[in-house]
Homo-oligomer: A and B are copies of this chain.
Amino acid sequence: MTQKADTLFTNAIVLTMDEKLNQYDPGAVAVKGDTIIAVGTEEKIKKEYTAGEVIDCGGKILMPGLVNAHTHVPMTLLRGLADDLRLDVWLMGYMLPVEREFVSPEFVRLGTLLACAEQIRSGVTTFNDMYFFEDDIAQAAADAGMRAVCGQSVMKYPAPDADAFEDSIAYAREFIKKWKGHPLIIPAIAPHAPYSTTPEILRACAEIAKEHDVPLHIHISETAFEVENMRSEQGMPVVPYVKKQGVLEAKVIAAHCVHIDVGEMKTLQHVNAGIAHNPSSNLKLASGFAPVTRMLENGLNVGIGTDGPASNNDLDMFEEVRLASFVAKSASNDPTALPAATTLLMATRMGAQALHIGHLTGSLEPGKRADLILVDTSPLHNSPRFKRDPMNAYAQLVFASKSTDVTDVMVNGKWLMRGKELLTLNEAELLQQARELAQKIDAFLIEREQSVLSKLIALGGSMEEESFEVQAKVRVAEPASFVQKMKRKEIEITAHKHYLQYDNYFIFDDPSQGRLRFREDNLINEKGEVESVRSRLTLLGQQREGEVGHDVLLSRSRFLAPAIHTLRFYREYFKPAQEVAVEKDRLRWHIRYKDTEFFVNLDEVKEPQMGHFLEVKSRTWSRKDADLKAELANELLNLLGADGAETVTQDLIEVLTAN
């Protein structure tokens, strides 16, 4: 007697991706409700099952839907916004400023729906997300009909959805309670990365994940820099560090793992952590080559992810699968590494296992949810087709098929795409909304990019500190005599310091932008050793405000900020037309003279060699005050015996860029 199914797929090349990699050609699959109830040869299944809907697959490949093991779906809206940049410039110069300005529940909903449309079109049925406002992402994914692990981000910094990490954790707890048990959505908690969290955050997230038995999604060892920092600060690599915080007691999904060693692999395998490998992102950001073959040898479940579409720049898992194989071969210098079948497995069953939902999806097996796709292998770019070796079928899919060959997609027994028509999403409407938002983002950035100052402000974390200075400077031949003269009783020394200063001036084509100075101050102690180093960024007004009295200048420093990034970061972010480096040895006195505070600097300009300069400076706030201080500054120069010396009315940088 035959059994009753809802849908019967016939006349397909069935790639089950099960333990034995069974293939049936022609094969058939029976679905009832949300579940696959039978898989086998067409002859067998047709004998055993009848169904209300019988689908002739026309010789297409019928296989499990792809599992995108790591992404940030709302970033579809930031795709192509900024490319060919280093990670820090991309992230802190563009992504974070735009996210601070634009990310909202509406933003993530639109971005998620766009991402679902793109993923359904390319055969993805499950994705693993990490972003902000994850409740809205979960709702959008559920509305689109996709299966998703949704991880609410937690970071030590303020985020678009939380002023402090405690808010994110509270949000995550409510979010998990709300979605736990949903047929499509698996809520999760996502401490962003070890470097962007604290031990306290990691422990709190692990506790919540354990308490609610949900996955914990985290970036691990994406860059060599991250690992170096961890080693120097904590004396251990990243995996032992997160283990110490209890993270590995949860069901971990570790994204990237580009720079982990075999010991860390064994640790992760021991706790059944899943890995998400992201070839496009790793290549595009030059993060390195993840040791995928080694991870597989060590028994880890490694899935494949697209990462966010702003660093990829798409959500095309066919491309990722092909790249995963290509990169493993080239990085290991072995063309037999990561063959097609293994790579496709990583994007299906093993990917689902990496997300801790292997019991639900990832292969065509009775009892699993009906998450499946049809792929047309008849197009030109994939012809002809060889059948000599069962492996040919996987090679065809991995090395030549395109995401655009996917024609039909079913998730949880429900059709999301038939004959390339999306059934749950209004593509035209989404595209229109995205275009409108993109115009706003474009306008925001265009306005910001118009001035060096606004680009500086966009970086955040820095303070506007406009200051005016009175400045008198002379060229001196015998610097040693001044050090003696500083001991005169009229001068009260309140502080004395010795610095080595390395300045880099960024010059822009438009002089009205001002000049940006990156200064590294090395404080030298009495033994001549570097005692401390600090860096500051100063946006200098392009011109002197004018002269105050004879030979004394009024200068304006428009903006001052601690330089928390590297010189290289600022260079790539601000893209100056010209750059000038200056190295100075500075003896600095903070003094009081006639009840007025002055700085006295005795500088030796060592690079380029320009000799010695004596400078007397004081902050000022009014023209009247400036006039008074100009007079005092001239007195001081006389007192120090520099009254005959050559006056310098230009900044060093003006002299250096005058030619």
Contact = CB atoms under 8 A, between A and B. Distances in A.
Nearest to A122: B381
Interface of A: 76-77, 79-87, 90, 114, 117-118, 121-122, 280, 282-289, 309, 312-316, 319, 323, 325-327, 329-330, 332-337, 339-340, 378, 380-389, 391-392, 395-396, 399-400, 402-404, 427, 430-431, 434-435, 437-438, 441-442, 445-446, 449, 572
A570 B339 CA distance: 19
Contacts of A449: 388-389
Nearest to A392: B80
A332 B289 CA distance: 12
B378 A431 contact: yes
Contact of A114 (B330, B383, B396, B430): B383
Contact of A335 (B117, B285, B332, B340): B285
B438 A80 contact: no
B395 A84 contact: yes
Copies in the complex: 2
A80 B385 contact: yes
A122 to B, nearest CB: 7
Contact of A313 (B83, B114, B286, B400): B400
Nearest to A319: B319
Main secondary structure of the interface of A (DSSP, over half): helix
Given A335-B284, A337-B286, A399 B80 contact: yes
Contacts of A334: 86, 286
A388 B80 CA distance: 10
Contacts of A391: 83-84
A90 B395 CA distance: 14
Nearest to A393: B80
Nearest to A121: B380
Contacts of A392: 80-81, 83
Given A121-B381, A388-B446, A312 B399 contact: yes
A437 B385 CA distance: 10
B336 A395 contact: no
Contacts of A121: 380-381
Contacts of A430: 380
A287 B431 CA distance: 41
Contacts of A380: 114, 117-118, 121, 427, 430-431
A119 B237 CA distance: 48
A123 to B, nearest CB: 13
A416 B80 CA distance: 30
A55 to B, nearest CB: 23
A19 B86 CA distance: 26
Nearest to A326: B283
A396 B431 contact: no
A397 to B, nearest CB: 10
Contacts of A387: 442
